[in-house]
Amino acid sequence: MALVNDHFLKLKAGYLFPEIARRVNAFTDANPDAKVIKLGIGDVTEPLPEACREAMQAAITEMGDPETFRGYGPEQGYDFLRNAIVEHDYKSRGCEISADEVFVSDGSKCDTGNILDIFGQDNKVAITDPVYPVYVDTNVMAGRTGEPDDQGRFEGLTYIPVTEENNFIPAIPEQRVDLIYLCYPNNPSGTVLGREELKKWVDYARENNSIIFYDAAYEAFITEEDVPHSIYEIDGATEVAIEFRSFSKNAGFTGTRCAFTVVPKALKGVTSDGTEQAIHPLWNRRHCTKFNGVSYIIQRGAEAVYSEAGKKQIQELISFYLENASLLRAGLESVGITVYGGVNAPYVWIKTPAGLSSWEFFDKLLSETHLVGTPGSGFGASGEGYFRLSAFNSRENINESVDRLKKSLG
Footprint on this chain of ligand MLT (rule: CB under 6 A): 41-43, 109, 132, 187
Peptide bond into 185 cis (omega under 30): yes
Instruction: Pick between residue 269 and residue 378 the one whose CB is nearest to ligand MLT.
Output: 378
Contacts 24+ apart (CB under 8 A), 199-202: 199/234, 199/235, 200/172, 201/172, 202/231, 202/234, 202/235, 202/236, 202/237, 202/240, 202/241
Q: How far is the CB of 41 from ligand MLT (least distance, A)?
A: 4
Q: How far is the CB of 43 from ligand MLT (least distance, A)?
A: 6
Q: How far is the CB of 132 from ligand MLT (least distance, A)?
A: 6
Nearby residues of 131 by Cβ (< 8 Å), 6 or more positions away:
181, 183, 188, 379, 380
Instruction: Pick between residue 202 and residue 220 the one whose CB is nearest to ligand MLT.
Output: 220
Instruction: Pick between residue 134 and residue 332 the one whose CB is nearest to ligand MLT.
Output: 134
Contact indicator for 261, 108 with CB cutoff of 8 Å: yes
Tally Cβ neighbours within 10 Å of residue 349.
Answer: 27
Q: How far is the CB of 329 from ligand MLT (least distance, A)?
A: 18
Instruction: Pick between residue 109 and residue 300 the one whose CB is nearest to ligand MLT.
Output: 109
Q: Which residue is nearest to ligand MLT (CB)?
A: 42
CA torsion through residues 176, 179, 184, 189, sign? negative
Q: How far is the CB of 241 from ligand MLT (least distance, A)?
A: 20
Contact indicator for 126, 173 with CB cutoff of 8 Å: yes
Task: Report the alpha-carbon distance of residue 127 to residue 362 in Å, rounded.
Answer: 25
Q: How far is the CB of 271 from ligand MLT (least distance, A)?
A: 32
Rg over alpha carbons for the chain, rounded to the nearest Å, is: 21
Q: How far is the CB of 42 from ligand MLT (least distance, A)?
A: 3
Instruction: Pick between residue 125 and residue 134 the one whose CB is nearest to ligand MLT.
Output: 134
Q: How far is the CB of 180 from ligand MLT (least distance, A)?
A: 20
Instruction: Pick between residue 105 and residue 210 the one whose CB is nearest to ligand MLT.
Output: 105
Closest-CA residue to 119 (of 275, 282, 287): 282
Closest-CA residue to 241 (of 274, 193, 289): 193
Task: Report the alpha-carbon distance of residue 290 to residue 2 in Å, rounded.
Answer: 23
Instruction: Pick between residue 296 and residue 340 the one whose CB is nearest to ligand MLT.
Output: 340
Instruction: Pick between residue 118 and residue 134 the one whose CB is nearest to ligand MLT.
Output: 134
Burial of 64 (0-12, 13-18, 19+ CB in 10 A): exposed
DSSP 171: P
Instruction: Pick between residue 44 and residue 95 the one whose CB is nearest to ligand MLT.
Output: 44
Q: How far is the CB of 301 from ligand MLT (least distance, A)?
A: 19
Task: Report the alpha-carbon distance of residue 262 to residue 350 in Å, rounded.
Answer: 33
Which amino acid makes up residue 97? I
Q: How far is the CB of 146 from ligand MLT (least distance, A)?
A: 26
DSSP 89: I
Phi, psi of 388 (to 5 degrees): -110, 135
Instruction: Pick between residue 119 and residue 132 the one whose CB is nearest to ligand MLT.
Output: 132
